[in-house]
Amino acid sequence: MAAPTNEELLLIKKFRESLHDLKLTEEESSDMQLVRWIR
């Protein structure tokens, strides 16, 4: 998978804030996993 773009990195930050109450594992909350949700 391609590295996240600068725009996606900003979205990841916002997305992570929205998901904080889900208690995701470290792997599930990694940048690459969150990018998969965004893409």
Give the residue numbers spanning the domain of 21.
Answer: 6-38
What is the reported pLDDT for 1?
A: 81
Q: How far is it, in rounded angstroms, from Cα 30 to Cα 27?
A: 5
| C-beta of residue 30 within 8 angstroms of C-beta of residue 3 | no
What is the reported pLDDT for 37?
A: 92
Residue 17 lies in a domain: yes
Give the number of domains in the chain.
1
Q: How far is it, in rounded angstroms, from Cα 13 to Cα 30?
A: 11
Cα distances (Å, whole numbers) of residue 2 to 7, 19, 21, 31, 32: 14, 23, 28, 12, 9
Residue 1 lies in a domain: no
Residue 28 lies in a domain: yes
pLDDT one-digit tens code per residue, 1-39: 899 999 999 999 999 999 989 999 999 999 999 999 999
Residue 22 lies in a domain: yes
Residue 34 lies in a domain: yes
